[in-house]
Amino acid sequence: MKIRVLGSAAGGGFPQWNCNCHNCSGVRNGTLRALRRTQSSIAVCGADPAAWVLVNASPDILEQLRAFPDLQPARARRDSAIAAIVLVDAQIDHTTGLFMLRESSRPLPLWCTDAACADLTGGNPILGVLKHYCGVERHALTPDGVAFTIDTVPGTVWRALAVPGKPAPYSPRRESPVSGDNVALVIRDAVTSARRSMPRGWGPCKRRCGRRCRLRRACSSTERSGAMTR
């Protein structure tokens, strides 16, 4: 299993377009030794090096694709190694990139929770708009921790865990969050059993370890090992 961090910045990227804090202004004028970063997203592949899962589709997706040639194997006139897309929520900085993928020659295979799907068909109807382009082949992502696989990306096993947090600001349920508004992912290599986690948001630790953990089960050493942070 391979994981490529495509972007690691919060919404707006780094530097943020309208921010003049020490860090953002320092990057712009060259007085701060730091790298510019695009908005958060990762890509995951398993046994097939030409089949990747895109986790979140950020507004910077085109720049991220250009920076990682493995996602363009060029096997045909129109081609992509993106075999599936998984969303951890319906936030703008994790879904706007879906618009950039509208030229796909087939419906986008998309895994998201029912809560995220409701927001992406109601408050921010990205999925409805995409019906007029490539379309979307939606698969339900159940945030119950039960393992599932993605057929088009062999060699990987996935689990989605519900984590506390509000839905996107545009959501009609903004003040009434439900399970599935935000999820964390645990990804396991089907061959080696090595696993990594992709957290989403801070939440209270259920094990009362005195720290705020990103995953409800973050105190489990097997899930904390190698955890990726945004």
User: Rounded to 5 degrees, what are φ and ψ at 52?
Assistant: -125, 150
The predicted model scores a pTM of 0.86
The letter for the amino acid at 19 is: C
Maximum distance among all alpha carbons in the chain?
A: 54
Of the listed ranges 30-39, 90-99, 113-122, 206-215, the least confidently predicted one is: 206-215
pLDDT, tens digit, for every residue of 92-106?
999 999 999 999 999
pLDDT band at 109 (very low <50, low <70, confident <90, very high): very high
Beta bridge pairs of residue 41: 7
CA 141 vs. chain centroid, Å, equals 13
Torsion angle defined by CA atoms of residues 69, 48, 198 and 13, in that order, rounded to the nearest 10 degrees: 10
Q: How far apart are CA 195 and CA 227, in angstroms?
A: 9
pLDDT band at 112 (very low <50, low <70, confident <90, very high): very high
Span between the terminal Cα atoms of the chain, in Å: 19
Give the mean model confidence (pLDDT) for residues 192-207.
68
pLDDT, tens digit, for every residue of 129-162?
999 999 999 999 999 999 999 999 999 999 999 9
pLDDT band at 198 (very low <50, low <70, confident <90, very high): confident
pLDDT band at 229 (very low <50, low <70, confident <90, very high): very low
